[in-house]
Structure 1
Amino acid sequence: MDKTRVICFANNKGGSGKSTTCSNVGYGLTRLGYKVLLIDGDMQLNLSLSLFDEDQVLAFAQGEKNLYEGIRKQADLTDYIVHSPYEGLDLIPSSTLMSSIEYELFTKWQREYILRKCLATVKEAGTYDYILIDAPPTLGGWVMNILCASDEVVIPVESTPWGLFGLGNMFEFLEEVKQIAPELKLGGIVITKVDTRKNYFKQTLDSLKELENVKVFDTYIRVDSGIEWSQDNNVPIMAYKKSSRSAAEYMELAKEIAEQK
């Protein structure tokens, strides 16, 4: 690759599988030979918990080496990177104090671009092929920061009756962001929590396919208890149970994302 691709995983609706998708796509990309940096932008710490146990994640959150401290100080985020237990996969962990990040940003000059500036050295160094950012399920100044720092956005949408709820608001927000970050692209929508025995999946897929100029990834992620077990053990599904259905699906999704230019 000739440059680092920054991809954020965002949806203003909670429970869409953002953190799980971000983590497992990141791990999958490392299995394809890429070097990946994950950034946990959510106060819920789920992305961090997908790689480290609770004690370690809380230690990151309560210490000085987390995203909140880096953004608050407007520092070079190179110094906030921690190595995960997996080769080629690093992390900038989150903090529960991210709940007050909007307040921290409010009075800052060019506040929409603070994350972009803090990431500039990491991105320009070319150490990573991919930087994947997990955004919180909101639409505000911090998510705008994440989007402005990204080259593209992937939107996970759950295959449930309420899965599409609020997606229109997400698209409107993306159009607002493009006014100040016109290079931002919609990488695509990935359907998660699919139960092919139910009509919700076909209904969700048909509704998304009707959207103009919106890519829907061919790979979808089915409901799999293995994902919950991997989360309980603080490891990506491919590291927990490589033979599982969801491990294969996330590997295919990682390949689809890697094939995009």
Structure 2
Amino acid sequence: MARRGPAATLGKLLGRGAGGGDAGHWRGMRTAALSTAEIDRLRGAARDQRRAIDAFLASTERATRRHSALLAAMPLPAGTDWRWRPPLLSTPLDPAVRIGPPNGEGLGDSAQLFHDCDLRAMILRQVPNLSATDLALYGLRLEVLGFSGGFLALSLPLPAEALDGLDRDHIIRLETEIEIERRIEVFARLNIKNGPNTDQQQAHLGWMQADRRNRHVSEFDLAPTEINPERLESAWLDLIFEAPAMNAVVLRDLVLSRHRRAQV
């Protein structure tokens, strides 16, 4: 395969405009092989890109600080040592929509849909939260048209921090806020993989009612589980929707936290 010369790399970078080139392209640029005119053009492109990046960082910093402050200020049980809102509810996704996702796919690593519906008549999209009472910047909307399958679950991977120091004395608290178009039953299942085993606990979030914000708090007590703190590998949360056909579900907020069980 022919190696790409400096002129080709230069044209690729300049052709991308203010957003041109990732860090690898700039680091790999061999400036010694460039003419003075080419270097001047590249320096101009670099300045344009830096201005665009600086503008993006400035525009999102206020929202990021607001999100962090709101999450830190949430009233949670005494002794809470970890709290988390999924990134898809606090930062913009790209892409922000997925039409007809196959089983096990969704919006990148942020959320996956698991189902057995061959029709795949579903749309998963990130939407802005516009209410003055919303604590999350974004919501996640799932539209389901015809559904011929037997199960549908939205899976959210938990960060590594959720497992740091986790043991059977912990209680995992789940707080959700969900809107729906038609009445639907929703469950939440916490999955913790340790070694060859996966411990699962399920909570009934109830029958969601249309035209209202359905708020619910559930707790997963890890005391009866068989998790081994030395072998924890990963954890994820599944939101399971019963009979979801011809419905739309909007996850307006979801916060997971953990605290230790009160010692009696």
**TM value normalised by structure 2:** 0.24
Looking at both structures, which has the greater relative contact order when contacts are Cα pairs under 8 Å and sequence separation is at least 6?
A: 1
Higher helix fraction: Structure 1 or Structure 2?
1
Higher strand fraction: Structure 1 or Structure 2?
2
**TM value normalised by structure 1:** 0.24
Structure of greater Rg: 2
